Amino acid sequence: MTLRLATTLCVALSLCALLIVPGNFPGLGGDARLTLAVFALATAAWIGTPIDDTYIALGAGLALTVTGVISNDTLFGTLGDDTVWLLICAFVLAAAVTRTGLAGRAAAFLVSGARTVRQLTHLTTAALVVTAFAVPATSGRAALALPVFLALAKALADRRRLVVMLALLFPTVILLSAVATLIGAGAHLITVSVLWEATGDRIGFTEWLLLGLPLAIVSSHLAAEAVLLTTTRRADRRGPVKITVEEIQLHSEQPVTGPWSPAESRCALLLATVVVLWCSEPLHRVSPAVVALIGAVVAASPALGTVRLKDALRTVPWSMLLFMAATMAMGVALSDSGAAKWLVSGLPAAVSPLVFLVAVVAVSTAAHLVLQSRSARSSVLVPLVVAAAVGAGVNPVAAALASTAAAGFCHTLPASAKPVALFADLPGTPTYTPRDLLRLSAVLAPLTAALVVLFAVVLWPALGVPLVP
């Protein structure tokens, strides 16, 4: 047993022992005690054991159901939540896009226009931000972008530092730009669900886009500059860059140049229609999940589709969806049992909204050092943040969004996020070291945290989400 596992289990078991004694923690009900005990054990297991995160979440949800803290309908009903269906259908659409090779064609169009290192860096960043609308979840976007990176690495094989810079740029931008859309990460759907259950506030696709896209663009391009300056020297950045479409084609299975095929044209039109309908939700009032379902049915249809439904469904990360559903149920238990409210009741009452926001962002930014799963971080933090925000006189929507956006920073270690781990181990291709990650994190962590605070204080209030209700 490792020291980390022993420590986390001791803390969790000690807390459970204290919760069992009725005289301890007056004012804490039976359901709240059970909820806190289950959460403590689940968090300890997430932190200190190699057990699959989904298995732990399902076990915790089952324990809360068997003990009567939440009902059967609450546990199983989360699987029918429209945000879960939105993600399923988004993966079907992503499979159709991947099958046609549209992403590679778009990347080649952008990157081949670069003539300097800085242009290459920011054009690559722009292309990666756009993929947030086509492919849900950061791991899926990383897998889609990997062939493009390998093609660039071959074209720049004689400039090793630039290859290392690009290897670090890809996962960095993928993680930070996820906040652009509601489907960018499973953690976003957990945040929306917790807010709905706790406050009755529903954040739709359009509202999330309005709040998240500017933050994604600014943070991604600032991060690109940070990556460029921390991994390359002035001499590396001075030389010209010329990457041709033909060089990218050598490492792509689908054509990246020439006339579009009928399948590519149909898929591009379908994707554009779906995104437009998502963005115009306030006009037509059709749920984003219904729009996504229509798009998925068309994408997999025999006449107009580009992928078979059974093949597309194989790309859906069912384990992640089960994890999301179980953690949503856990969030309901925290809120309904009064456990979240009790946990934050001891916080100082005389805290200014700005100090509260800074504390939330700081904790959320550092949380990846303890909980590697982004969804697990949101399932633990967001219910507490929402409950604390109400007590501190802060808008819970602004606090929850700030926490979720700050949790997008997870670059400190290769194991901190799947995209970081994927690009850290590429046989035959130069890539970054743990030291490179630490050097970047020293700059990027305070930069992204300050940016989230700035948006929550300045821009989001102008867009209808004030810090103080």
Residue 177 near residue 216 (C-beta atoms within 8 A): yes
Residue 220: domain span: 3-463
Gap between the Cα atoms of 421 and 63, Å rounded: 32
Q: How many domains does the chain have?
A: 1
Gap between the Cα atoms of 369 and 388, Å rounded: 22
Identity of the residue numbered 175: L
Q: Residue 203: helix, strand or coil by DSSP?
A: coil
- The answer to the question of residue 292 being in a domain is yes
- The answer to the question of residue 414 being in a domain is yes
Gap between the Cα atoms of 3 and 5, Å rounded: 6
Judge residue 458's burial from the number of C-beta atoms within 10 Å of its C-beta, 0-12 exposed, 13-18 middle, 19 or more buried. exposed
How many angstroms separate the first and last alpha carbons of the chain? 48
Q: In this predicted structure, what is the pLDDT of residue 227?
A: 92
Find tokens 């989360």 and name the residue. 78
Q: In this predicted structure, what is the pLDDT of residue 371?
A: 74
- The answer to the question of residue 234 being in a domain is yes
Select from 409, 364, 430, 399 the least CA-distant residue to 172: 409
- The answer to the question of residue 468 being in a domain is no
Gap between the Cα atoms of 423 and 207, Å rounded: 32
Find tokens 């546990």 and name the residue. 75
- The answer to the question of residue 143 being in a domain is yes
Residue 255 near residue 249 (C-beta atoms within 8 A): yes
Gap between the Cα atoms of 257 and 260, Å rounded: 8
Residue 88 near residue 80 (C-beta atoms within 8 A): no
- The answer to the question of residue 446 being in a domain is yes
Gap between the Cα atoms of 295 and 313, Å rounded: 14
Kind and range of the H or E run holding 36: helix 30-48
* Tokens describing residue 427: 């046989």
Gap between the Cα atoms of 124 and 117, Å rounded: 11
- The answer to the question of residue 469 being in a domain is no
Angle at 342 between CA 338 and CA 344, to 5 degrees: 125
- The answer to the question of residue 185 being in a domain is yes
- For CA atoms 10, 12, 15, 16, the dihedral sign is negative
Task: Tally Cβ neighbours within 10 Å of residue 454.
Answer: 13
Q: In this predicted structure, what is the pLDDT of residue 94?
A: 82
Gap between the Cα atoms of 333 and 330, Å rounded: 5
pLDDT along the chain (469 residues), means of 10: 65 72 71 84 79 86 89 84 83 82 70 79 88 80 80 79 90 91 85 82 85 94 92 79 69 69 84 85 83 89 84 84 84 81 70 88 86 79 85 88 90 79 81 87 92 94 88
Gap between the Cα atoms of 244 and 112, Å rounded: 5
Judge residue 464's burial from the number of C-beta atoms within 10 Å of its C-beta, 0-12 exposed, 13-18 middle, 19 or more buried. exposed
Residue 380 near residue 371 (C-beta atoms within 8 A): yes
Q: In this predicted structure, what is the pLDDT of residue 449?
A: 93
